[in-house]
Amino acid sequence: MIKKGDKLAMWYISGNRDGDSIENPDQFIIDRERPRQHLSFGFGIHRCVGNRLGELQLKILWEEILKRDMKIEVLGPPKRVYSSFVHGYSELMVKIAP
């Protein structure tokens, strides 16, 4: 029972890591079936307003990198975002060579 004054933490990160619903939930599988069948804020399929723009930007970026046969080398470990809400990275140092 939650009483007045009790502190709570809500972990959004675990919503899409349910092994009963998602096979190998902790692995990045680029060709995963139904990749958009993830949950956002506990219900429904998340649709970001800038989703299409972001996809287009990434598509163009990778097309240009591949066209130029660029080599991308990771120089060190990534710095993770310190947050209970965002599960991501704030920095990843790379070297891009032609």
Partnered with residue 95 across adjacent β-strands are: 73
Q: Is residue 47 part of a domain?
A: yes
**Rounded-to-integer distance, Cα 37 and Cα 50, Å:** 18
Residue 1 lies in a domain: no
Mean pLDDT of 72-88: 86
- Domain membership flag for residue 44: yes
- The residue to which tokens 């710095």 are assigned: 79
Q: Is 55 within the bounds of a domain?
A: yes
C-alpha to C-alpha distances, 41 to 12, 16, 60, nearest whole angstrom:
7, 10, 30
Which of the pair, 43 or 58, is modelled with greater confidence? 58
Range of the domain at 75: 12-97
> Residues 3-13: pLDDT tens digits?
999 998 876 66
In the chain, how many domains are there?
Answer: 1
In a domain, 39, yes or no: yes
**More confident site: 88 or 16:** 88
Q: Does residue 96 contact residue 70 with C-beta atoms inside 8 Å?
A: yes
- Domain-located, residue 45: yes
Task: Give the pLDDT mean for 12-25.
Answer: 72
Question: Mean pLDDT score of the chain, rounded to an integer?
Answer: 80
Q: Does some domain include residue 22?
A: yes
Whether 3 is covered by a domain: the verdict is: no
DSSP state, residue 40: E
Report which of residues 16 and 54 the model is more confident about: 54
- With vertex at residue 13, the alpha carbon angle to CA 87 and CA 37, rounded to the nearest 5 degrees, is 105
